[in-house]
Every structure is written in C-alpha cells, then in structure tokens.
A = this chain, B = another copy of it.
Amino acid sequence: MTTTHRPSGDLDTISINTIRTLAIDAVEQANSGHPGTPMGMAPVGYQLWQYELNFDPADPLWPNRDRFVLSAGHASMLLYSLLHLAGVKAVNPAYETLGHASVTLEDIKTFRELGSRCPGHPEYRWTSGVETTTGPLGQGVANSVGMAISSAWLASRYNKPGFNLFDYKVYSLMGDGDMMEGISDEAASLAGHLGLSNLCWIYDNNKVTIEGPTALAFSEDVSSLFLGYGWNVTKVSDANDLSMLAKAFQVFRDETQRPTLIIVDSHIGFGAPDVQDTSAAHGAPLGAEEAKKAKHSYGWPENAKFLIPEGVYEHFAKGIGARGGELRAAWISLFADYERKHPTLAAEILAMQHRELPLHWDVDIPTFNSDPKGMATRESSGEVLNAIAPRVPWLLGGSADLTPSTLTHLTFAGAGDFEAADYNGRNLHFGIREHGAAAISSGLSLSKVRPYWSTFLVFSDYARGAIRLSALMEIPVIHIFTHDSIGMGQDGPTHQPIEQLASLRAIPGLIVLRPADANEVAEAWRVIMELQHNPVALVLTRQAVPTLDRSRYGSAKGVARGAYVLADPINGPPEAIVIATGSEVSLAIAAYEELSSQGIAVRVVSMPSCELFDRQPATYRDSVLPPEILARVAVEEASTFGWHRYVGIDGAVVGMHTFGASAPLKDLQNKFGFTPEKVADTIRQQLQTQLQNQRKNR
C-alpha cells in the first residue's frame, strides 16, 4: 500500500548529513560514544524513516505502527537524530504510564549526561520512539522476532473482513556484533521457520569491529546462512545509494513467505578521512580536527555545531510526518468502526494496550484440596495457567522444547500452535533456544501481548542476557522455570540448579516466586497476572509436594506479601523461626511438627518471594520475622548465598554448598541433608547458638 516517494536530491542529502553531524557533535560534546555507525548508516536510517516506515511521530504508540529496532544500540545517536528530526512526540500517558519523553536538541547536546533523553544506549520507557532497550548485542534483533510474531498473531485474531487493523512491519538494524552473537542465530532460525514475511533485518556490513577488521574473527558467508535459515536475502552495495535502498525495501515488501535480510555494504565513519573504515571510528569521538574534516567532506560549515539547516524539520514533517499522520488517522477512524462492529474484540485490544486484564479473568482459578501426596508445582501451575488463559486471550507462550516437562502447554480447545501455516495459535514452539525464547518474549511483551516462556531453572543461565533486559525495561514477561532444585534428581548436576535462585533474586526489578504447594501456585499466578511493570521468574518443582492443609496452616493468600506465617506454636510465642521456600516448606513443616511434639516452639515462615516481602512495610516484616527472635534457620535446596539477610550472621542455612549429583531424589535429600531430622537438628542447634550468644553478650 505504501508508495515509495522519490527523494528530492538536495534535502535528502542535507538531512542525511544533519544526522551524521548531530552524531559527530553529540559524541564530541560527550567526549564519549560511537560516531562511526551513525555516519555510515545515516542514509539507511534516513531512507527507512523518511520513506518507508509507517510511523506517526505524533503518536509513537499507535498500535499498528511499523517498528524500528536499533539492535546495534551503540549507534544510538542515529536513532536520537531521527527521533528528533522526525519530531517524535512524548508518549500519550493514556497508553503507557512510564515516562517516555521526546528528544529535544538540548537532549542531544547533553548526550550521555545524567537526565538526558539521549543516554549512551537507547532505553525503552525513557525516550519516546525507542521500541526496546538495546546495546547488549543480538537482543534487539531477537526482540524484533517477537514483535513480528505479535503482528502476525494480532492480525490473525483481530483482523476481520474490511478491518485490516494489524499489518505492521518490523525493521531491525544490526551490526557485525549482532550477526556474531548466537542469540541472533536462534532468533533468525525461528523467524525463518515461522515464515515471518513482516520482518526485515538490515545488516550494516561495514567489515570493522572493535578489535579491527571483521576478518580477524568472522568470515562466514552471511547470505548462505540466511538462505539456510529460510530467509529472503538481498544486497545493497552502497549505503549511500538511496534508490538501491528503496529497491531493497521494495524487495522486502514484495516478499510474502519469508523474512528478509538486507545486507548493506557501508563505510564506518563515512566521510572522516583519517578514520573511515577503521575501528578507530567505532567507539570514540573523532576529535575536533577530524570532525572538521568530516564536515568539510559533507560540504558542511566546518565550525557549525548541532546545525539543523533550514527546511530539514519541514522536510521530515512532509515525509514520515505526513505519511504517518495520514495512516494513523485512517486507522483511528477504522478502529472506531471496528469498535461498533466488534466491540468485544475492540475492548480486548484496548485492555491489552493498557496492560489491563479482562473482568473476571481469575474466576476459574482452582483451589486445591489438602493432600499429603500432593502434586508437582509445575503440574498445578499448568492447571492454573489453563484456567486463566481462556479468559485472557492475549496470554500466549511456550517452551524451549520442554513443554512435556514444564507443562506450560495451553490444552483447551482453540489454543492451537503458532506455526507458519496458522498464526492464530497461542502455543509457541521456541525450539531449543532459551536465549532467543526469552528475548522474543520481550518482543511480545513490548507489543503488549502477555508472554510466558519456559525451560528448566538451570537453563535460565542461557537466557540471562534477555531476562535482565526484561527487568531493565520493566516489562511483564513471565519466565517459567521448572525442575527447580536437586529434587529433579537423576539428570544430575548439569541439570540441577544451585546458584540460579540467588542469581535471579539479584536482578533488580525481577520478582522471583517459588511457591510451596498448589494453592501457593494459584496465588502466585494472581500476583503475576496483575503485574504491569515487572517481569517475574516463576520457579516450580519437578517432583510432587504435599498440598498443605490450609485449615491447619496459614492461608496461601500470604503469597501476595512475599512471606507469611504458615505455622506457629500452639501455646506462647515462638523461640525459633524456620524460613523455607517451595518444596522445602513441607520439610520445614515436618520439622515443626516434630519439634512441636517435643515442646519446642517454632514458627514456620513460607517465603515464596523475597522481593515481594522486602516491599512490605516494616511493621508487617517485623510481624513475620520479629527482630527479637534471633534463632533462625532458612531451608532451601539451593545455594545458601543471600539467606543471611534474613537469618543473620549467626543464623543457619540448610542449603547447598556444592553442585548436586545424579541419583534418585531420596538419596540426594539424604546426601545433602534435606530431611526433617536434619532441619529439626539445625533448629535445635540454632537455639543453643543464640543462647550462647546471649550469655556472651550479658
């Protein structure tokens, strides 16, 4: 539908050189940054924004906008220049409560300074028009696959005859770093498999990396690779040739079966005579003299700084501004009709855009009867997920090829598989690609569908780069990790997580939830689904755990507060506290029962989420963990790292100090000391230790 306008020579060139010189000047001013790629790829960014992208600068969250992902995030000044010149407005707070603001010239002049909307790398939720946070290489391209999946899924669900609501395309600009990172291969392979013809990666083939020429470490034939992945591949031999670029984008738009890779041969640091085509142009200011020489080569006033020539703003307004504005206006009008004709679907779209939930979304969540044998929390979680998903139609996800183990499959009628032949399915098959799965899930979340993905907890390691970014971006991705301890048994130490819980808890903003039984699982999902700005790691057992008798012990509603009193002495106050999470809660309960029968007064605290607990007011925290009770034991089948925060220096942690071993569950529990007897003994020792400490202090 888009027609490619023929650029008028003069203002095109001036606009491109404005982008280049803004990048040069911002990096000079900051005395830090990456000028080379913006200088080389300015024509590509320009052609794409001015003539191709269906994006309205006046409404940067318009749901059907084309997405532009700068995967080579270090080239941030390319994006900031475009955002500024195109006049991208601040985000409408009706769509998004986080603080997206527009890029002013002052922001560009304060590039990389505290508070500037132009930080070193583009940050989602901070700068309007930044579709995702990039910088760690490979993440942006993988996100773009999630966005392209979303476009296809949204179209499949919401487009109706006469209502082509969703047909947006996703463009991602990548460099050699993105190309070399394994996560990109994972994402490219899946995108090819799914035949995402709405996806276009633009590869900046500048042949230079930080260490020197790419040839030091890279000699693969990128075309063969992507053809092997099932992509359409086209080449542009000169980044400065706008008409070749326009043709390449046309090739992309004409392709209906495959994603498209455009390989663009470019010159890093284009126009700077002494550093062009060298790694010196990559990540350092040009220096005053070289900057002048570059400007000279562009026919630019050498001493001008942050110059935006007359007519440039207007030129962008007539290009992307006019085109995007018209398209968006037409869409808004179309959507108004759609609301009348398909009110339920329209309401879904609006709720989704605001990260809200449908009414009654949680009414089918089951309550589980007490059962000493119980069930695995992966199993109860699968049940709860399947009770929620039919009522939240945009909740979708899958597994990195472990669905039969992680039990995250949507099994109800109509859930279906998302495959090239059917974009309506809600079960994604990510393949054995954890890092890709997590980053693609972020792309889904950035598109406002609600994603989950799953693997074994130990393999969260593979996905940390992407998990971290979901936390940094403050997007509600649901990371599901099963087989959560040595309790997974015979697969042995390679598959038994030890340090993963601590490692996830250390990530700012990520909420880790490790429920103790089926009813805590149900409550955990209530917490998770309401989250709008936090990703979550839901950590589940492989093995069955008892479903606790809630008439006897505390209510699972306590999950929402992160930790709660599960059991207390019948008479009088507790002398000792045992804190446990997940499968070890029933172990703590067993120790409690034993000690109670011996007249030892113990409190059991279930702590499914340290992060949620730490957010509670001090009065609540002190009511659960009274400061005067110093005899404290934490029990978790994981690294003890981090637990002394709750038990104190002299407190005890029954945990893991080594890797696990391959053996049946019971043998491992004996070997590593996860038995009621061991826990009870440790509590008794704690009482003695604290008694001795008190005596000492007297």
A211-B403, A502-B641, A508-B658 known; 4 new pairs, CB 8 Å cut-off, are: A121-B491, A180-B189, A435-B462, A644-B645
Q: Which of B436, B505, B662 contacts A121 (CB 8 A)?
A: B662
Known: A220-B189, A220-B228, A417-B216. A120 touches B662 (CB 8 A): yes
Cα of A662 to Cα of B433 in the assembled complex, Å: 31
In the complex this chain forms, how many copies of it are found?
A: 2
Residues of chain B within 8 A of A646, CB atoms compared: 649
Partner of A459, one of B136, B498, B668: B136
* A 637-684 contacts with B by CB, 8 A: 639, 641-642, 644-649, 656-659, 661-664, 667-668, 671
Closest B residue, CB atoms, query A492 = B120
**A134 within 8 Å of B (CB atoms):** yes
- Using known A-B contacts A121-B662, A492-B135, A494-B134, determine if residue A227 contacts B221 with beta carbons closer than 8 Å: yes
Contact of A204 with B by CB under 8 A: no
Leading 3 A-B pairs by shortest Cβ distance: A182-B182, A224-B228, A119-B662
> Which residues of chain B are within 8 angstroms of A211 by Cβ–Cβ distance?
399, 401-404, 429
B180-A183 in contact (CB<8A)? no
Q: Give the interface residue-count category, chain A.
A: 35 or more
Those of A71-87 within 8 Å (CB) of chain B: 73-74
User: A113 — nearest CB in chain B belongs to which residue?
Assistant: B663
**Known contacts A210-B402, A220-B193, A429-B211: A498-B508 contact under CB 8 Å:** yes
Q: Which residues of B contact A379 (CB under 8 A)?
A: none
* Binary B-proximity of A251-272 (CB < 8 A = 1, otherwise 0): 0000000000000000000000
Q: Tell me if A1 counts as interface (CB < 8 A to partner B).
A: no
Q: Is A593 an interface residue (CB 8 A)?
A: no
In the complex, chain B residues whose CB is within 8 Å of the CB of A193: 217-220
| Known pairs A183-B182, A432-B181; A508 contacts B502 (CB<8 A) | no
**In this assembly, does A123 line the interface, its C-beta being within 8 Å of a C-beta of chain B?**
yes
- Residues in B with CB closer than 8 Å to A419 are 216
Nearest chain B CB to A611 CB, angstrom units: 11
Query: What residues of B have a CB within 8 angstroms of the CB of A401 in the complex?
Result: 177, 180, 209-211, 217
Which residues of chain B have C-beta atoms less than 8 A from A192's C-beta? 219-220
CA distance A658 to B495 in the complex (A): 30
Chain B binder among A238-246, A463-471, A527-535, A575-583: A463-471
Given contacts A193-B217, A432-B176, contact A32 B490 (CB under 8 A): yes
Closest chain B CB from A612 CB (angstroms):
15
On chain B, the residues within 8 Å of A135 by CB distance are 491-492, 494-495
Tell me which residues across on chain B come within 8 A of A405, comparing CB atoms: 210
CB distance from A269 to the nearest CB of B (A): 16
> Which residues of chain B are near A112, meaning CB under 8 Å?
490, 492, 662-664
In the bound complex, residues from chain B placing their C-beta under 8 Å from that of A114 are 661-664, 667-668, 671
